[in-house]
């Protein structure tokens, strides 16, 4: 190697230009995945809360308001309308629990996490039983 080549290599080794771009490139993907993971966790908690509220309201309606919730189909529709997120009535199952003498509403909602580089499917569930 010539003297000019060694000087050029030495100058290149001391040059710090572009190091910030390289560090940003290494950090940005895990940072974005973490950020979207936090957002998706919040969305899942919101859906879970909405399902719990909907099954509690529907079980209470089935026990108290027999005009609005007079059968399982109407009660499931009431639960779907009570949820603060858009879930279909088919998510809710309404039964009469003879052992506890209560109207029981169960929700089972399959969902997926929308995180880059991660693919996870979950089923959120909620159950409520209100005395008859």
Domain boundaries, the chain: 18-131
pTM listed for this prediction: 0.77
Partners of 124 in the beta sheet?
A: 109
Q: Tell me the pLDDT tens digit for each residue of 49-90.
A: 999 999 999 999 999 988 998 899 999 999 999 998 999 999
DSSP state of 53: H
Residues in contact with 79: Cβ distance below 8 Å, sequence separation at least 6, in sequence order: 54, 55, 57, 58, 89, 92, 94, 105, 107
């Amino acid at each position: 190697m010539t003297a000019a080549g060694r000087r050029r290599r030495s100058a290149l080794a001391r040059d710090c230009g572009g190091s910030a771009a390289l560090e940003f490139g290494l950090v940005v993907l895990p940072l974005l995945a973490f950020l979207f993971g936090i957002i998706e966790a919040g969305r899942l908690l919101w859906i879970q809360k909405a399902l719990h509220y909907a099954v509690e309201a529907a079980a209470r309606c089935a026990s108290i308001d027999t005009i609005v919730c007079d059968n399982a189909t109407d009660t499931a529709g009431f639960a779907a309308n009570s949820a603060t997120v858009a879930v279909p009535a088919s998510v809710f199952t309404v039964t009469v629990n003879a052992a506890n003498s209560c109207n029981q509403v169960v929700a089972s909602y399959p969902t997926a996490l929308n995180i880059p580089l991660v693919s996870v499917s979950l089923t959120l569930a909620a159950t409520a039983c209100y005395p008859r």
